[in-house]
Structure 1
Amino acid sequence: MAENCVIVSAKRSPFGKYLGSLSEMEPLDVGVKVAEATLSAPGKNLKENIDQVFVGNCIPSAFETGSVTGRQIGLKLGMDVFTTTVDTACCSPLTALRMALWGMRLGELDSALVIGVEAMSRVPHSSRQLRTGVRIGEVKLPDPIFPINYPGYNSVAVDASDGAEKYDVSKRMLDTFAMGSHLKWADAMKEGKFDDEIVPIKVRKGRNEYLFSQDEMPRPNGNIALIQMLPTVFGAKSTTPGNAPGLNDGASAMVVMTEKKAKSLDLPILGTIVDQAGETDMPSGISWIPAKAIKKVLERNKITIDEIDLIEINEAFAAMPLVSTKILAGGDEQKWYG
């Protein structure tokens, strides 16, 4: 049986809004600052105890040197270990974590530093025409982040909306759930729940320098009436700026180890990763893919959904957690939304 894998340290930057506090900062530096804090968080420097670095990043063109992001971060950290950079879009950091866990469960690794970093504000417009020169006519500067879709398929906003419609999740439910997330964030912030995980970042805007220490995107003072007035986007029936994800800048990191390695270093164990799974579907299935992955892990470990106390699903769109949990509830409306 494979040895347990545990989390011994985890940190993140505050997340900046699009063109916000982190927009003028090289994302490589944000990733490095968060990684350094993560490596020193347990009260001892873990740099010498890391076997490999895994980085998830989906838009490398945001970096001044847009290639092998993981290698660049490893070098800036002064680490001479092997690095891996992976792009699976929004799932990139979780895929990086899965790869680290594979290495440990195969016995190849005892430890890993896992990082996720993005800077949507820094993604440049691009032109393939400039390489060979433009003899005549207009120069096109396409935007890699607008719209977000696979060629030949709908925008992800449309796919999320269609999934909600298929499972009879109303726009009001989407808006209400989204507003609830802002309020939950506000409560957690007031209670200091993020204090131990956020790494403040010193930023400069023009002549001003300040310490950026709080997420910029959440809107705790919003209200459901205003959210419901927002127009739908990209031709979607129910997706609006109020129940869809924003574009963000930031980084996160964690150190994972085999339980044996963590205990040998007398490190605190923040959590144990029992199992992991990756699932996908056609782009139109974006809202129910989390349910597929959760079912896969539960079945493999012979656990029922009723034995789970808390399910956390990335709210890329409000449709994801609502559709996926409705599927997991097996049609029991009270269990799902009661």
Structure 2
Amino acid sequence: MTDRLRSVLTHLNSIASPRDKLLQKNPDDVVITLAIRTPLCKYKSGALKDTTLDGITFRMLEAVRAKLDLDPAAVDDICLGNVRDGKAAYYCRAAALAAGFPNTVAAHSSSRFCSSGLTATAHIANEVSSGLIDVGIAIGAEMLSEGNDRLDRPFVDEILSNPEAADCMLPMGITSENVAEQFNVSREEQDRYAVESYRRAEAAQRAGWFDDELVPITVKKDGKDITITQDEIRYGTTYEKVAKLKPSFQENGRSTPGNSSQITDGAAAVVLMKRSKALELGQPILAKYVGAAIAGLPPRIMGIGPTLAIPKLLSRYGLDLHKDIDIVEINEAFASMAVYCRDTLKLDWNKMNPRGGAIALGHPFGMTGVRQIVCGLSEARRTKQKVLLTSMCLGTGMGMAGLFVSEQ
């Protein structure tokens, strides 16, 4: 490159907008070369009700290996994002070996409540970026049909004596009620939001929009082999039906089974490597991983976390939420927090969860962070849009956000 050309390129870069800079491609970019997920199935009654965490992790990794178009030995590390099971690292390592990855492929787990899948993605991306590994897989999985995730004992007295620390024990439904009461999110607003989530998910499934992100898996249900190919979505949900439901968490509350995230089982995975490595290995580049941000807040109103994490992330890149972001996936843990985040961030609702969210699709805690990436990138392909932002609130009072650029 001549000095003059280098000077011209430097000048052009200096006057490029933040979005233009975001869309630039460099050899050291961390990119996603595969993004897939299992169908989402209802808790205790759905197709995955008899499947365990090690079972779904095995099937997810088996599907990744089958679609990878790459020697499995090229993978250096796998991270499983999971909330409820302290044995997740065991399951990830054993499932990888059983799924056909050689014993040279390392494995571990990550747990940060509802961002565990996004945290796993960030872990693998950071390993790739730092040069610790060349190729990695991030999985998010949760089998809520297996049991309760609440603490099995109270905190010690020294912790309980601090009111804010004690709030970390609050059931998530109570934090939803706190958000609704403190920020005046009405029951009607929540119910109408929920109905739209159901409508979008139903429309997306009928139109086949989920098809390119799903991998069919075969599992046992009630002792028989079944193959699952579609999400278990409730059709025909109306405002009148949702408005009749009783509060779930407190008398005269505003959060109900109809406007809270469905309790659901499932898993999702993404493969990450540097752009230079993807080109060397002949891998398709679906998207660029840009970065992530985490923020803390009072545990009693944990649901508003995205309103802190999103501005924190976008400020790093000089991006404007309204002008520069094309698709926003905010986890619908509860309609109270979804409505609050939408309105506080002044989001265009057409950009937010265009295929519906966790109220309609479900919220397997550890899966959600990866599911949002997989679903958001599929929507970006369909609509030929570029910049995807994902975010979620986290138990004990946190928010996390991730930023991606679709290249398909």
In structure 1, the partner of 2:290 is 274
Give the whole-Å Cα distance in 1 for the aligned partners of 2:244 and 2:262. Answer: 18
Residue number in structure 2 paired with 1:220: 235
Q: Percent identity?
A: 29
Q: Which residue of 2 aligns with 1:319?
A: 336
1:214 aligns to what SS in structure 2? Answer: coil
Residue in 2 that maps onto 1:69: 91
Q: 1:186 Cα shift?
A: 1.1
Matched, 1:79 2:94: no
Distance 1:182 1:103, change over 3 A: same
| AA matched with 2:249 | F
Decide whether aligned partners of structure 1 residues 294 and 207 sit closer, same or farther in structure 2, where only a CA change above 3 A counts: closer
Counterpart residue number, 2:65:
39
Structure 2 residue corresponding to 1:10, chosen from 31, 35, 56 = 35
Q: Name the SS of the counterpart of 1:193 in structure 2.
A: coil
Aligned alpha-carbon RMSD (Å): 2.7
Report the structure, 1 or 2, having the larger helix content: 2
1:53 match: 78
Pick closer, same or farther for the CA change 1:268–1:327 going to 2, 3 Å. Answer: same
CA deviations over 1:294-337 (Å, ceiling 9, x no partner): 1011111011122222211011112233212222229x99x99x
Q: Confirm or deny: 8 A CA contact 2:80 2:88 kept in the other structure.
A: no
Indicate the residue corresponding to 1:172 in structure 2.
Answer: 188
Match of 2:206 among 183, 190, 200: 190
Q: Distance in 2 between matches of 1:263 and 1:288?
A: 40
Q: Do 2:50 and 2:222's aligned partners in 1 also have CA atoms closer than 8 Å?
A: no
Aligned twin of 2:271: 255
Shift of 1:145: 4.6
Question: Distance between the aligned counterparts of 1:227 and 1:268, measured in 2?
Answer: 43
Alignment CA distance shift 1:325-1:46 (3 Å)? farther
Q: Give the direction of change, closer, same or farther, for the CA distance of 1:169–1:6 in structure 2 (3 Å limit).
A: same
Is structure 2 residue 53 aligned with structure 1 residue 27? yes
1:289 equivalenced with 2:305 (yes/no) = yes
| Unaligned residue ranges in structure 2 (runs of 5+) | 1-25, 161-165, 353-408
Quote the offset at 1:201 in angstroms. 2.1
AA matched with 1:52: D
Q: Determine whether 1:229 maps to 2:253.
A: no
Q: Secondary structure of the residue that 2:199 maps to in structure 1?
A: helix
Q: Return the letter of the residue paired with 1:329.
A: K
User: In the comparison of the two structures, how many residue pairs are matched?
Assistant: 309
Change in 2 beyond 3 A, CA 1:21/1:233: same
Q: Cα distance 1:79–1:89, how it changes in 2: closer, same or farther (>3 A)?
A: farther
> 1:130 maps to which residue?
none
- Conservation of the 8 A alpha-carbon contact between 1:31 and 1:117: yes
Match for 2:126 among 102, 121, 126? Answer: 102
1:315 is matched by which residue type in structure 2? E
> Does the 8 A contact of 2:48 with 2:221 survive in 1?
no
Question: What secondary structure, in the 3-state scheme, does the structure 1 residue paired with 2:278 have?
Answer: helix
Distance 1:40-1:209 versus aligned 2 partners, 3 A rule: closer
**Which has the higher mean CA deviation after the structures are superposed, 31-40 or 248-257?**
31-40
User: Within 2, Cα distance between the matches of 1:311 and 1:66?
Assistant: 29
Q: TM-score, normalised by structure 1?
A: 0.83
Residue type at the aligned position of 1:220: Y
Correspondence for 1:128: none
Contact in 1 for aligned 2:261/2:333 (Cα 8 Å): yes
Check conservation: 2:89, 2:108, Cα contact below 8 A.
no
Q: 1:327 to 1:206 in 2, by over 3 A?
A: closer
| Contact 1:156–1:283 (8 Å) recurs in 2 | no
Aligned-partner SS, 1:234:
coil
- 3-state SS of 1:187 partner: helix
Residue type at the aligned position of 1:122? E
| Worse-matched range after superposition: 317-326 or 112-121 | 317-326
Amino acid at match of 2:263: L
Equivalents in 1 of 2:261, 2:71: separation in Å? Answer: 34
Partners of 2:124 and 2:223 lie apart in 1 by 41
Name the structure with the higher strand share: 2
What's the CA shift for 1:17?
A: 0.7
TM-score (norm 2): 0.69
Q: What is the SS of the residue equivalent to 1:178?
A: helix
